[in-house]
Amino acid sequence: MNPLISICLPVFNGEDYLASALESILNQSERNFELLVADDCSSDGSFAIAEKFTRLDRRVKAWRNHERRGLFENYNQCLLNSRGKYIKPMAQDDLLLPDMLSKCVEVLEARPQVALVSTRRRFIDESGNEIEPVCIHIGPEACLGEGDSYIYAGADVTAASINPLQNLVGEPCTVMFRSEYAGRGFSSRLRHFGDFEYWLRILQNGDFAYIPETLVAFRQHGLSASSHNLQQLLIASDVIHFAEENLELLSRFGYSEGDFIRSNLSAMSVSISNLVEAGALTGIASGESHDQNSDESGLRKALFYSMMLLSSDADLYRSLSRQKSEIALSEEKLRLLLNSFPWRATRLLREVNRRLDPGGSSTESEDYVVLDNPQYLSYLRQKRKTILLSRSWKLGRSIQMLAANVGMG
């Protein structure tokens, strides 16, 4: 009999945290799963740890690749060997809380229209201590409201995620999806946005469900794949590859390839600038490199300074990125709503309504101003609530869904 869940765990030099990750999986309250561990030619003791767990629990299957494949191609090796009804990606650094699998399955079993589900996560350091994230992380409820019991149309999530690129779904450890929508798997061209781009492709098949409960611990440390991608500025090249691989998707939501690339590089430049200032990234501007030739190091240095120049023209992004506070996050939520397709698409209708009834209610006014004053937090919250409950927002979402469905047809 096939397992209910296939847990896909790619491994590369992960001996420091791998045993803890495996134990958190085997301690799940949902027991009907297979655990597929693909070691990508690790030079440390990772594969020996994985083999030890295969002897402890027959649900664990581990193998070693004959040659290095990279993170996302290694995920695809797990997908090829999976037999479960549901796919649960996992990472060697992270931890699952005991009910993570059971609560994701509960949603997928109860709602056949949901293609992918994810959960809230907390952030931990190398020692497992809870920490504040390096950057502001925004979930789907910040941009799309609470929805229908945190169920969101795939098109809505995509529209709110692609310009600028922001992963509203979550990291692999937070996600579970239906195996029937696995498709061609992760794109091996992408290094940083590979998981996020895959989630958007899966969501073309159905809805997204979010569980607003902390069921995962996501580890942030200097040796993680995300930190490496930022250090090498691979995140910038991913913007280009994302655009090249998703031209039809961008067009469906009204973006040209050039505009998408320019706006995302501009926003990204500010994030990189602030991470450097905060000491989270080192060695980029100096061109330090131990594993690449001087030409590649020089190109990376040139890209770094180009992105610093771009950041000087994006004061709003800079102020939002620098502040880890409730005010900054609330400002970002409001800005995303004001720039969303449903709100922009119905602007003319609101203007006509205002001119026809100048003395009427101003609840749908365009005069929402983002200020720098901690006393207006309640004001920001009320304005977001007004937008989400307005006729314009509901009509705009209907238009967006219709356009997306026509595009998919």
Task: For residue 97, count other CB atoms closer than 10 A to its CB.
Answer: 19
Looking from the CA of 165 toward its CB, the CA atoms found within 13 Å total 28
In a domain, 227, yes or no: no
Together in a domain, 128 and 215: yes
Together in a domain, 100 and 215: yes
pLDDT at residue 101 is higher than 70: yes
In a domain, 326, yes or no: no
The predicted structure's pLDDT at residue 173: 97
Least confident piece of the model among 82-86, 227-231, 381-385: 227-231
Highest mean pLDDT among 131-145, 248-262, 393-407: 248-262
Together in a domain, 393 and 370: yes
Together in a domain, 197 and 141: yes
- Please state, in angstroms and rounded to a whole number, the distance separating the CA atoms of residues 278 and 204: 37
Spatial contact of 188 and 70, defined as CB atoms under 8 Å apart: yes
Together in a domain, 381 and 312: no
In a domain, 244, yes or no: no
In a domain, 242, yes or no: no
Mean pLDDT of all residues in 374-399:
70
Spatial contact of 365 and 386, defined as CB atoms under 8 Å apart: no
Q: Which of 162, 169, 202 is nearest to 341 (CA)?
A: 162
The predicted structure's pLDDT at residue 86: 98
In a domain, 246, yes or no: no
Share of residues in the chain with pLDDT > 70 (%) = 71
In a domain, 369, yes or no: yes
In a domain, 204, yes or no: yes
Together in a domain, 183 and 298: no
Together in a domain, 212 and 151: yes
Together in a domain, 28 and 158: yes
In a domain, 193, yes or no: yes
- Please state, in angstroms and rounded to a whole number, the distance separating the CA atoms of residues 219 and 126: 7
User: How many domains does the chain contain in total?
Assistant: 3
The string of pLDDT tens digits covering residues 284-337 is 444 444 444 555 555 455 555 555 555 454 444 444 444 445 666 676 677 777
Q: What H or E segment, with its residue span, contains residue 353?
A: helix 347-356
**Higher per-residue confidence, 126 vs 288:** 126
Phi-psi region of 281 (alpha: psi -120 to 50; beta: other; left: phi over 0): beta
Looking from the CA of 113 toward its CB, the CA atoms found within 13 Å total 6
The string of pLDDT tens digits covering residues 346-380 is 877 777 777 776 655 444 444 444 444 445 566 66
| 368 contacts: CB under 8 Å, gap ≥ 6 | 334, 338, 383
Together in a domain, 176 and 109: yes
What pTM did the predictor assign? 0.70
* Structural domain boundaries enclosing 106: 5-221
Q: CA–CA distance from 38 to each of 11, 180, 228, 382 (Å)?
A: 6, 21, 20, 48
Amino acid identity, position 118:
S
The string of pLDDT tens digits covering residues 49-82 is 999 999 999 999 999 999 999 999 999 999 999 9
Encoded tokens for 375: 């006393």
- Please state, in angstroms and rounded to a whole number, the distance separating the CA atoms of residues 85 and 3: 7
CATH of the domain at 86: 3.90.550.10
Highest mean pLDDT among 124-133, 194-203, 216-225: 194-203
The predicted structure's pLDDT at residue 200: 96
Together in a domain, 217 and 255: no
